[in-house]
């Protein structure tokens, strides 16, 4: 914004100087003084934006919560022929379900609902839920079979998420401003 203002000021002030220089009643010394004043004003206003130094400081939150999530997957309906393949597929499915639960806790769930009423009677009702997000830093606490299901327990420690976030994005606050 300062550059725009400065360029506009120079244009206006230069136009004023040209008008002043075409005036027959001004002496050459007065014209030179006017032009020097215009140029010095333009130079001073262009330097005004660099009159301070801001020192930034990263500020950590006061506490870091730990979130846990549990994912379940049935063993019997996995699309595999051998039992060992069904177990591996159920392990993966339960891990994905646990990650989805963590994403729901961190980002929330988006719901879309639709209801239809005919003759004052509810004829159809549907609800769709979705979640979207990136989970980094989660740890698998336990993974085990439980009856006909496979279970995976995850934990998300926000102190570890904070450290990962600090490596990518450094949120900062102003520590000190020094004016020159």
Q: Is 69 exposed, middle or buried (0-12, 13-18, 19+ CB in 10 A)?
A: buried
List the chain pLDDT tens, one digit each, 180 residues.
444 444 444 444 444 444 544 445 567 777 777 777 777 766 665 555 567 777 777 777 888 999 999 999 999 999 989 999 999 999 999 999 999 999 999 999 999 999 999 999 999 999 999 999 999 889 999 999 999 999 999 999 988 888 887 777 766 677 787 887
Contact 10, 42 (CB under 8 A): yes
Number of residues written out for the chain: 180
Alpha-carbon span 154 to 160, nearest angstrom: 14
**pTM for the whole thing?**
0.58
Neighbours of 47 (CB within 10 A): 10
| Bridge partners, residue 74, by sequence | 149
Dihedral sign, Cα of residue 174, residue 168, residue 164, residue 131? positive
């Amino acid at each position: 914004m300062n550059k725009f203002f400065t360029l506009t000021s120079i244009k206006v002030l230069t136009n004023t100087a040209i008008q002043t220089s075409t005036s027959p009643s001004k002496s050459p010394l007065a014209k030179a003084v006017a032009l020097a004043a215009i140029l010095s004003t333009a130079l001073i206003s262009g330097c005004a934006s660099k009159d301070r130094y801001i020192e930034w400081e990263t500020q950590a939150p006061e506490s870091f919560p730990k979130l846990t999530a549990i994912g379940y997957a049935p063993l019997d309906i996995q699309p595999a022929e051998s039992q060992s393949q069904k177990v591996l597929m159920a392990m993966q499915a339960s891990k994905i379900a646990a990650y989805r639960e963590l994403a729901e806790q961190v980002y929330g769930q988006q719901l879309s609902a639709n209801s239809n009423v005919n003759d004052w009677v509810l004829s159809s009702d549907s609800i769709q839920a979705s979640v979207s997000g990136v989970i980094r830093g989660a740890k698998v606490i336990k993974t085990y079979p439980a009856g006909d299901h496979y279970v995976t327990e995850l934990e998300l420690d926000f102190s570890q998420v904070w450290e990962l976030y600090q490596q990518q994005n450094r949120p900062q606050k102003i520590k000190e401003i020094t004016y020159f």
